[in-house]
Structure 1
């Protein structure tokens, strides 16, 4: 990393300088060579070293997403007509069903599009308060998981195919033995549970097996429980933030934009408070104090990069400065520990000039906005930071205004890292005889010091319920296939506690069962279908059980239980059930005791007959009357959270394994920071090709992980992107390629867990070289998120990384336009002055007349967070193929909308800007005039249309497109023979073949659907009736589409704003897609650009 060249170029630049990578900023030979190939002028052609057969064999299912089409001969497919057509199914007309995708226990409400009985697209539920119609990338990509050919398909015992009846029979003896011992050797391991009906099932099991224990584990669980310890601020309460009411926000290493159960709604609320117009020139201000660069930090008006271990100290100083804490008199749970000598050297002291300046400005701003400010602690910070934030919010009058603390959404929340450690200790001591693992893949994801896979072999009977035959399945006795959420009945709660119902859209493709159906096997009522379990619970809740009061969206009582059930299944949620609206927390109470059903003659098993899981079925005709249920057993230490008075257990809990000795302070040691991967999370999405190929925010890396380091650390260690380093931490070793990230703390290294999978599936399996790129190999249970003592060394090897950060560059032009709020207030024309707009008469193109509709789009860069949800939405809607790492490295990714990321300022702490780039739908389109076969042409409504069966693949249009938004099928990226993928494709969109050019169409299929509906009803298309896929899913509501000929349409009004501009307008292309410039709101006391505290400190 040549920092001298970077400084020289920055010093010699007048005005603003935007750059997408350090290579572009330094103008390295490698960057110039890539630019030469991307903008070919007598440039050499890329050659394919691999044959087509080898390529398809290598990529497997990741290439199986594009389907068949165009001029390629297709295999014969038989058409089987309906004998009796279902009443609701009309060919060509999709149906929509409200449901939910559960991630980390929390419900993400969805509206699922179904064609002819097969789900083809997932979007957010527009009526649900946690979604408002938006969805994140994980939720949308769940569709591909449904059709994944590598899913666990059948019950197996030690690798041999069995049935659910065999499992029940095989478990009978073990359960009978446990029953006689009250379940002393029985353990359950699950993730967090917010489902009220599932929590009741678990409570019922523990009532019937009083000595059994329920353990919980989530690799991305919070760092310690924020309620641990004994103090006024240590009660179990769930925070819900109201960013739409906050004018000043302080983030303490909290990435509320980039992750978390509530990030979709949080993005909308944050963006709404930040949205400005010509009439409303007020917006919120965001201060971010963070370690690893995040999307939240990228949107911050001021960002302070610090080590993760420094955040707590800064939070204490801020609390003291606000007057919410007195030195030496913090509540006992958050009393500061004496710092070590090494910590004193690295943590900024109260007298630090840069910290003092920051704190003074923040305190002044917070005090000026009491009751309209908000302090948000990071999920991966210790409990003390959470409690300090709660104290400060209370002192500022924010509690009840910008933040609500309510009853827990999760059933029996615990410190999940400690819970898993206790289970590992019990297995090691031989105290676990039967273990039921409900998802989570702990053999892969457990901290390295627990040696979970080795200890699991000491358990007599292990049954694992999972979606794939993964690392945990391979060491378990029984492998039980999990049903996909779109195949299941269920319920769960959203981040705010809103109860969300799940209904199946398709019968299980394989033999999977839902978690409700699995746990029901161990309950007194035995084998029941999912619908029966969920409906039975909510029928009793309707009658008053569990403290529920049911009302419709208007606050009116329902006529009867059946009306209530039909309404909530139709809507997808129970109105008014949020904890912030007075809804109860998720209780842990067993079901009323009932006599078990009599088994049918000849029925095998211990809990009723095993039947295929169909996800449906009639409910029981007799619903137990609401009554006071039997008292649940006293929760054990594996379930109960720490509290001032610890509950007793029926048996003494096993002592947890001894904690590893803390790393010895070392002047040469670095801080290691652990984070879940932005696209495959904890590894559970590793086999999802859509997410693997989605460029990660900030780095645009695909298909791999990396160790993030700062430019200064890279320069001092002579490291470059892709150099493989060995990481040594607490006796553990791993290897990873490095990636140099501007704005990263200088003496820290961030590693992302989720990669290095050996048994994820044909897409997610790591090659031998990359199996060491596994951050779990370094993680310890007592320091799950950061720690000191990391040593790194260069191995001399290099690993190729496929990043799109420099792809489709616009040759040094400035596509983004930026101003501060004060600049914009003083002179709204400041945006127009940053570019040149030629007059409309300056053109040789014939003027088009748009007498009917005139489609256009506006994208607000102030609102856009760069999350990438629009990219996944476009992939799912338009049958866009996955091409694989090798093709991405060559610049051949097929995404129709990309999110460019620009930096401005010093590499030590630059400001960041995101810009989604779809097709601009130019009125003077350069691509149209160069196509020799008229495959790209202009429609009467202004769309730049593609006629696929005319395209002969000259690629002249791509060469002549200044925005680089056209995509060419260099190879046939489809799989005709994987049958499970066929139903996934959108039948309204042509599937392209090899040799075809493609691009964004403004979702013309949705335009056509609306046109047909309007014609049938003899009316005009209404504003907002057409919502493109990217617009529908955008959590920040940054994308608006509509008719420019309608002066009252939302998009027309946005385009009259003084912030509106077109990219590369000086080329006179007259793009229909325009942008609203990004506006920042910096504090004048800290300057208009973010100064780097790291520059002076390290």
Structure 2
């Protein structure tokens, strides 16, 4: 098909496509440092590609993934229908379109009751107690999409002209699918039998009467991290009525290490807030702050802003990363060190000594740290040293002392009181609960959220034997999970879009959780469950929230009382009229203004000492006989396991490994060679059979064979395990995928340990991996000087400019195509839509993929179909490693790949029924009802961005399946090709509105789904006919280039090459 494309196009190599300079820009100078004319250093997506393995060449020779097989695959009738029923999710729902009786407030003024008009409401989701501010779209009373709330303080920067970011993460985007999941628990149950809510209330009130004479001595509450002021107030009220009752907190991803490090450094726990918008130099100590850290959306945006290079801005920040397992933050680093967990404290201490921290001793064999320390010292007050929440407490303490020594505190690093309502050591809190249960002192255990039977540490497991020592067990959760199975009462929990609440963002700003829909089932919120333990046992969430805030002042301290401290008396209630106006404003905006926690002054000499930090143990011992170290991490897609039943997230390729539907033990190439690990690539490309491991830690062994994945950049003799898999009662989608790393995770080594025994297993495991899918390199590009991903250093860019990397750009007289065929200034309304993607700012978070899936009704296909290369994502994010050493890549880059919307699109002339056509505004459109499924267009697409419905992935029979879908986007059927449309429905909506107002579409008025969700603003869309539009200015940059534009496809989607800012001292070393 490549020859066919070349015959259709005409002349050879071009850097960028399109008819005008505004579209193309000058050729990029990005590739000179990556590949010399004679070969040399190159980028690669997989180890097989780097080695030019026969399996890789065979897969590439087929050019496009395997075609449809027999329609009667045994998978279809069983797994597929089961998966689709759970993923598209809506059968059997009742009362879904009812609005709650409370008054919710739309984010903007819209004509009420106008059919087809979307309404937006400010709300928030919460993960780990940290709020993500959102705007939820409602179509005829049903939530269909979420975006970030641009007016929330966490979404704004210091520029008053900036409207704020609408970015969110993959978990917020996929929460729409969770809302409509039919596997959600639907009714209150007693011992697996449905019971009325009133029966539960009656039994609890009777049990409380028995506890009252004992002051609640047998009553225990177990929650996850609580930052909600109103929930904290409810718990405080219960503890005041039952003084002997106790409130415990635990979730597997907590702040214990950061808390212990702050106590060691300052003598008190603090919440650390960073300002990356002011940071010129950043040192990350095992902190994945661009993807898995409180405040990650704000941090990623500010970080990217300091790295963004334009024609008038020639300075960018520099990032150093020392980490124990590869992360997306490490991929963005200018300098990266992969170290064992046992070496992390040594490296941090060595830098501390070199920047002048007294009382810390430590030498490290890691080279280049002297240059890092000098660079940090030269940027005092404009640098940041950040430790990850998985890093040992000693690393946190050392990071605090380095920031203090560099004068960063009060500038780029701020300290506040903890945002938790009850900031406790969660491991210690769980230990106390387990001790009380074992001692027979717990009679009534109320678990509000969480899944402790599944995710508590192996040495503190709340298993059947332990839980059955309590007389009454109650569990609130969205699913009948592993914990609900062992409880007397299971209470179905509401989704955040179904109930009122409040929570706090990473800086303490109180954020209002506003529902958009009445509970789909007989669900109850945490507020309603806790109300049962109070005299107002039938109080509704709306009443609880309003009553609480009516008695509070508009201050940051509202709801700040902890379990061991008497709450500060609330200020007098505001007049009713004033409160109503204030409350409506808070609900409209989605947050309570001026509630961010105030900065406080702390010093390393105030409580703990740097000597204490240096003496803290670096790593817990694992056991005798093991030579390996282990690292535990949350899974990039399903977190700690709570999203296991979400098909969107299960099928999302993980950023660095591209594994779907599974977890695996990450090992380095050298460790794989040491253990004799191999893998076999099947003929379908996605079916990769890998060897397994037997992993033992402190005498405990993972029950299932652990599949392996050889990972570039992984430290030698270190095994990384991701949490969240191995679920038994997650739901139809999430059951029986992967292994549970919780089986060997203990309370003294929650994130890393040494002395781990690793042995090669006797069997292989099938992984569904997309790493080899849709490969665009079917030639030796090093000889053709044709780079897919272009990158260079900042110094090279500034010194060589556009002349540093030149390729041939075809002139109009060198092609047989009519250059005026698409004169977009004369056709239609004069619009010419285009997109620019800045590779310098893409951090590989995959949020664009999930946002596109949610916006465009893209189905889930399942593991077996991914193995066949049939995933349906319209935009993929390719990962490229640079260098010749697979164990230590020089760099890692991400490339989002949507449809290019080529002006000379090779897919169009080969369609026999004109199902793919060109619009007057430059869009490569699909006419679904014309498509007869020849797949010629897909075969002729050099970018591999077209997706074919080999099977009926959508459900057309159940009317309620329409609830989740975007009504503005067609739902495709079997036998139909589909692809990225540039969110044409949003384009048309903006055009209709502009026509009604008698004007043209404003720049920035149309925001595609992938653009809106991007935390770093790497994706920009607009009218390339407008020379003042942001996209036109980006396309005029020297770094702009077209992907495979030498095929003369003239892509409307172009890229800005990636830049690095290495330290010359380290480069010389």
Q: Residue 827 of structure 1: SS of its match in structure 2?
A: helix
2:130 is aligned, of 88, 97, 106, to 106
* Counterpart in the other structure of 1:378: 388
Contact 2:90 2:180 in 1 (8 A): no
Structure 2 residue 882 is matched with structure 1 residue 869:
no
* In 2: Cα distance, 1:218 partner to 1:1023 partner: 45
Contact 2:35 2:41 in 1 (8 A): no
Contact 2:838 2:1056 in 1 (8 A): yes
Contact 1:725 1:795 in 2 (8 A): yes
* Counterpart in the other structure of 2:582: 564
Deviations 1:207-256 (A, max 9, x none): 11111111111111135353468656131210011111100000000000
Could you list the runs of 4 or more consecutive aligned residues of structure 1 that deviate by over 6 angstroms after TM superposition? 9-13, 77-82
Q: For residues 746 and 978 of structure 1, do their structure 2 counterparts lie closer, same or farther at Cα, with a shift above 3 Å needed?
A: farther
* Counterpart in the other structure of 2:925: 945
1:50 is aligned, of 58, 63, 73, to 73
* 809-818 or 179-188, which deviates more: 809-818
* Counterpart in the other structure of 1:633: none
* In 2: Cα distance, 1:13 partner to 1:158 partner: 71
* In 2: Cα distance, 1:729 partner to 1:13 partner: 49
The CA deviation at 1:844 is 2.3
Contact 2:666 2:709 in 1 (8 A): yes
* 1005-1014 or 526-535, which deviates more: 526-535
The CA deviation at 1:1043 is 0.4
* Counterpart in the other structure of 1:781: 747
* Counterpart in the other structure of 1:848: 822
* Counterpart in the other structure of 2:712: 742
Unaligned runs of 5+ in 1: 1-8, 69-74, 329-348, 550-556, 584-641, 645-659, 1092-1098
Contact 1:62 1:763 in 2 (8 A): no
Q: Residue 894 of structure 2: SS of its match in structure 1?
A: strand
Q: Residue 534 of structure 1: SS of its match in structure 2?
A: helix
Contact 1:64 1:976 in 2 (8 A): no
2:88 is aligned, of 65, 69, 72, to 65
* In 2: Cα distance, 1:48 partner to 1:761 partner: 27
* In 1: Cα distance, 2:544 partner to 2:599 partner: 26
Contact 2:90 2:182 in 1 (8 A): no
Q: For residues 478 and 538 of structure 1, do their structure 2 counterparts lie closer, same or farther at Cα, with a shift above 3 Å needed?
A: same
Contact 1:223 1:381 in 2 (8 A): no
Q: What is the root-mean-square deviation of aligned Cα atoms in Å? A: 2.8
* In 1: Cα distance, 2:411 partner to 2:95 partner: 61
The CA deviation at 1:870 is 0.1
Contact 2:645 2:730 in 1 (8 A): yes
Q: Residue 704 of structure 1: SS of its match in structure 2?
A: coil
Q: For residues 298 and 843 of structure 1, do their structure 2 counterparts lie closer, same or farther at Cα, with a shift above 3 Å needed?
A: same
Contact 1:672 1:787 in 2 (8 A): yes
The CA deviation at 1:449 is 1.6
The CA deviation at 1:375 is 0.1
* Counterpart in the other structure of 1:33: 58
* Counterpart in the other structure of 1:790: 756
* In 2: Cα distance, 1:758 partner to 1:12 partner: 54
1:892-971 to 2 correspondences below 5 Å: 892-905=870-883, 906-910=885-889, 911-971=891-951
Contact 1:64 1:981 in 2 (8 A): no
Q: For residues 388 and 925 of structure 1, do their structure 2 counterparts lie closer, same or farther at Cα, with a shift above 3 Å needed?
A: same
* Counterpart in the other structure of 1:188: 221
2:860 is aligned, of 882, 895, 919, to 882
Q: Residue 950 of structure 2: SS of its match in structure 1?
A: coil
* Counterpart in the other structure of 2:29: none
The CA deviation at 1:56 is 5.3
Q: Residue 154 of structure 2: SS of its match in structure 1?
A: coil
Structure 2 residue 462 is matched with structure 1 residue 452:
yes
Unaligned runs of 5+ in 2: 1-33, 100-109, 156-164, 561-574, 609-618, 680-689, 782-786
2:662 is aligned, of 704, 720, 723, to 704
Structure 2 residue 103 is matched with structure 1 residue 92:
no
2:429 is aligned, of 394, 397, 419, to 419
* 362-371 or 127-136, which deviates more: 127-136
Structure 2 residue 41 is matched with structure 1 residue 16:
yes
Contact 1:96 1:114 in 2 (8 A): yes
1:756-835 to 2 correspondences below 5 Å: 756-766=726-736, 770=738, 773-811=739-777, 812=779, 813=781, 814-829=787-802, 832-833=805-806, 835=807
1:451-530 to 2 correspondences below 5 Å: 451-453=461-463, 454-530=465-541
The CA deviation at 1:842 is 2.9
Q: Residue 1010 of structure 1: SS of its match in structure 2?
A: helix
Q: For residues 535 and 1077 of structure 1, do their structure 2 counterparts lie closer, same or farther at Cα, with a shift above 3 Å needed?
A: same
Q: For residues 1049 and 558 of structure 1, do their structure 2 counterparts lie closer, same or farther at Cα, with a shift above 3 Å needed?
A: farther
Q: Residue 459 of structure 1: SS of its match in structure 2?
A: coil
Relative to the length of structure 2, the TM-score reads 0.86
* Counterpart in the other structure of 2:644: 686
* 122-131 or 365-374, which deviates more: 122-131
The CA deviation at 1:271 is 0.3
Q: For residues 775 and 216 of structure 1, do their structure 2 counterparts lie closer, same or farther at Cα, with a shift above 3 Å needed?
A: same
Contact 1:192 1:217 in 2 (8 A): yes
The CA deviation at 1:532 is 0.8
* Counterpart in the other structure of 1:839: 811
Contact 2:792 2:1060 in 1 (8 A): yes
Deviations 1:185-220 (A, max 9, x none): 110000111111111111111111111111111111
The CA deviation at 1:520 is 1.7
1:140 is aligned, of 133, 153, 173, to 173
2:363 is aligned, of 340, 350, 354, to 350
Relative to the length of structure 1, the TM-score reads 0.84
* 120-129 or 31-40, which deviates more: 31-40
* In 2: Cα distance, 1:511 partner to 1:697 partner: 37
* In 1: Cα distance, 2:511 partner to 2:621 partner: 43
Contact 1:824 1:830 in 2 (8 A): no
The CA deviation at 1:577 is 1.5
Structure 2 residue 697 is matched with structure 1 residue 729:
yes
Q: Residue 435 of structure 1: SS of its match in structure 2?
A: strand
Q: For residues 796 and 490 of structure 1, do their structure 2 counterparts lie closer, same or farther at Cα, with a shift above 3 Å needed?
A: same
1:754 is aligned, of 724, 746, 762, to 724
Q: For residues 80 and 19 of structure 1, do their structure 2 counterparts lie closer, same or farther at Cα, with a shift above 3 Å needed?
A: closer
The CA deviation at 1:45 is 6.2
The CA deviation at 1:418 is 2.1
The CA deviation at 1:309 is 2.2
The CA deviation at 1:1006 is 0.2
* In 2: Cα distance, 1:11 partner to 1:823 partner: 14
The CA deviation at 1:15 is 3.6
* Counterpart in the other structure of 2:310: 277
